[in-house]
Amino acid sequence: MSIELKNEFGLIDISQDTVAQIVGGAAIECYGIVGMASKHQIRDGLTDILRKENFTKGVLVRQEKEDLHIDMYIIVSYGTKISEIAYQVQSKVKYTLNKSLGMSVKSVNVYVQGVRVANV
Amino acid sequence: MKSINGIQFADMVQMGAHHLFQNADYVDALNVFPVPDGDTGTNMNLSMTSGAKETAAHTHEHIGKTAQALSKGLLMGARGNSGVILSQLFRGFGKSIEQLDVLNAKQFADALNYGVETAYKAVMKPVEGTILTVAKDSARKAVEVSEDVDDIRELMEAIVAEAKKSLDRTPDLLPVLKEVGVVDSGGQGLVFVYEGFLASLKGEALPSKTIGSSMDDLVSAEHHMNVQGFMDTADIEFGFCTEFMVRFEEGKKSFDETAFRNDLSEYGDSLLVISDNEIAKIHIHSETPGEVLTYGQQYGDLIKIKIENMRQQHTEIVGEGYSSQATTKKAEVHPYAIVTVAMGTGVSELLKSLGASAVIEGGQTMNPSTEDIVKAVEAVGAERVLILPNNKNIVMAAEQAAEILGIEAAVVPTKTIPQGMAAILAFNPQATVEENKNNMTEAYAHVKTGQVTFAVRDTSIDGVEIKKDDFMALAEGKIVLSTLL
């Protein structure tokens, strides 16, 4: 499935992968995020922190009628205020999608899948 | 000063927090990254205030314990990206001096550096040109300087100096900052914290707000926000960017910043006033810069006056002819206009003779875009407009155009030329846009449209057999007859 936008010239079709890549790219620039996690942790391996090529596994893009919903699975750094980081991710993702694709997102749901303890 | 203990450190934290608090608005104004929502200063201030509160409540002679309190307070109160980073910087700082009673210069520098390392660990892809860079550069400098210097005051001076230099370099690292012409907001916040530390160590009052450079940054940020808001030169309400300084004089009106601001805000928008005891620097966008200057003169001598025509600047940027825009458009404003769409000179003349102000070339095979419609309406320069698309494929574009026009506009969704003509006849220049829309829609509802054309290929539609080159008769858009004469 992909995201479709219509205007008077025709159709714009943006693949879910594209959206997921943009969402992932925006997210890892956020402070406090150390990685994206797979939404199927058991199937894809528990400990995996996803690399850039696999962002799409950690980002789920859903289109319900006209509304766009993002579910994303992240791993954060130990010792940070996780609620605040999740909030920053939401606002950054919403802003980036709006800026780069002109899409407004109805919801950005952040699932914190893990905390990485750095060897401090 | 060779070492500091927990009590001295607590005082540094208080001063840092206080200095940041005083300048939070300024930091807000610089905020363009990662999301330009103008809250960095507020967020950092709230984070730092929470840290300072916790520190004050748990101040201990033992510096390790005091630093722990700061770390905990920052963590709990962390708000915004910069706030979270700030909490990480001092979490690492606190962690590395946990066991220490007092801190010497070398240990202080190492602790800062450890804080930076901790902060960098908590991000996958650090963005340089932010608070992280400023923290990193100043911590490295601290480690370097602490090799030779054992006076903490001297060390802190070097740290502040390097932090400021690093801050000035942020636009080179982060393109969005350069584009807007500001330094990074979070980095600026950290500089304020460090400046507070230094003031505490020196036992001096906090550095006062600097009028010169900070004003320039504020002006850039303010203009940036404005540029984003304006799509068209004609949208600029206050045309002259006016900057000047007033040197207060004895015997003139005495200066009260709040009253001064209130009075000036009458003349325009984007008002910025920065003042100390001797001078005030003013930036305002106004349509009547002369009056602003006259007002300023009541307080003293005017120095460094700069007035720029923003409409001209804007048209230069947008690349459109200035003179034709602002002047001629305003000269002949039609209160009411009808903009419609038709193909061919004959039909176009016919519609114009009935009262259409502009006819856009287009029809079934060539649908004008939203932009074409917007341009046509703007060229007419009316205050209120009715758009008649005369084709069902153009109705959507017309409706979009009506939405973005920014003037009172309505679409009468006519689908054929005869409908458009009937609608124009029902137009009443005295009525409101809404009334006209209703009357005109009603008027064309009774119109039956017949069309004649020829077939380009063989087909069968709605039970009518069609052969190439047949003449076809359409009633209300439906083929009713196809035959070769």
- Which position has the higher pLDDT, B21 or B457? B21
Residue B425 neighbours by CB distance under 10 Å: 12
Distance of CA B402 to the CA centre of its chain: 24
Contact between chains at B78 and A81 (C-beta distance less than 8 A): yes
Tell me the β-bridge partners of B247: B279, B301
User: Worst-scoring range by mean pLDDT, A86-100, B145-159, B219-233, B298-312?
Assistant: B219-233
User: Worst-scoring range by mean pLDDT, A51-55, B429-433, B436-440?
Assistant: A51-55
Average confidence (pLDDT) over B197-205: 89
Residues of B in contact with A100 (CB under 8 A): none
User: Worst-scoring range by mean pLDDT, B68-77, B352-361, B456-465?
Assistant: B456-465
SS3 state at B387: strand
B196, B51 contact by CB (below 8 A): no
Residues of A in contact with B123 (CB under 8 A): 30-34, 77
Helix (H) or strand (E) holding B301: strand B300-309
Tell me the β-bridge partners of B3: B104
Interatomic CA distance for residues B275 and A41, integer angstroms: 59
Contact between chains at A77 and B122 (C-beta distance less than 8 A): yes
pLDDT above 80 (res A62): yes
Q: Which of A28, A34, A80 has the CB atom closest to B88's CB atom? A: A80
Interatomic CA distance for residues B89 and B236, integer angstroms: 44
pLDDT above 60 (res A87): yes
Q: What is the pLDDT of residues B282-340, one digit of tens each?
A: 888 888 888 889 888 888 888 778 888 877 776 665 554 333 333 333 335 667 889 99
B116, B89 contact by CB (below 8 A): yes
Residues of B in contact with A84 (CB under 8 A): 78-80, 83-84
Domain residue spans in chain A?
A: 17-116
B154, B142 contact by CB (below 8 A): no
pLDDT above 50 (res B212): no
Contact between chains at B118 and A118 (C-beta distance less than 8 A): yes
Query: CATH classification of B218-317, choosing from 1.10.3470, 1.10.3430, 3.30.70, 2.60.450?
Result: 3.30.70
Residue of A nearest to B75 (CA): A81
Tokens of B102: 């007092």
pLDDT above 50 (res B116): yes
Torsion of CA B14, B17, B21, B24, to 10 degrees: 170
Is residue B225 exposed (0-12), middle (13-18) or buried (19+ Cβ within 10 Å)? Answer: middle
Local confidence band at A113 (pLDDT 50, 70, 90 cut-offs): confident
A41, A113 contact by CB (below 8 A): yes
Contact between chains at A84 and B35 (C-beta distance less than 8 A): no
Residue of B nearest to A92 (CA): B35
Which of A31, A94, A99, A117 to probe by mutation at the B interface, max B CB count within 10 Å? Answer: A31
Q: Which residue has the tokens 């007092």?
A: B102
Residues of B in contact with A85 (CB under 8 A): 84
pLDDT value, residue B272 = 77
User: Which of A61-65, A74-78, B367-371 shows the highest mean pLDDT?
Assistant: A74-78
Mean residue pLDDT of chain B comes to 83
- Which position has the higher pLDDT, A56 or B377? B377
Mean residue pLDDT of chain A comes to 82
Helix (H) or strand (E) holding A88: helix A82-101
Domain residue spans in chain B?
A: 3-207, 218-317, 332-445, 450-483
Q: What are the backbone dihedrals phi and psi of residue B309, each rounded to the nearest 5 degrees, phi first?
A: -85, 110
Peptide bond before residue B175 is cis, with ω within 30 degrees of 0 = no
How close B281 gets to chain A, by Cα (Å)? Answer: 34
Q: Which of A28, A76, A118 has the CB atom closest to B125's CB atom? A: A28
Contact between chains at A88 and B78 (C-beta distance less than 8 A): no
Q: Which of B34, B79, B125 has the CB atom closest to A84's CB atom? A: B79
Q: What is the pLDDT of residues B55-109, one digit of tens each?
A: 999 999 999 999 999 999 998 888 888 889 999 999 999 999 999 999 999 999 9
Q: Which residue has the tokens 């039956």?
A: B448
CATH code linked to domain A17-116: 3.30.70.1350
Amino acid residing at B458 = D
Hey, what CATH topology would domain B3-207 get? 1.25.40
Local confidence band at B162 (pLDDT 50, 70, 90 cut-offs): very high
Written out in words, the top-level CATH class of the domain with range B332-445 is alpha beta
SS3 state at A31: coil
Contact between chains at A91 and B35 (C-beta distance less than 8 A): yes
How close B143 gets to chain A, by Cα (Å)? Answer: 20
Half-sphere exposure of B402 (CA within 13 A, CB side): 25
How close B278 gets to chain A, by Cα (Å)? Answer: 42
pLDDT above 60 (res B211): no
- The interface predicted TM-score of the complex, written ipTM, equals 0.72
Q: Which of B81, B87, B122 has the CB atom closest to A88's CB atom? A: B81
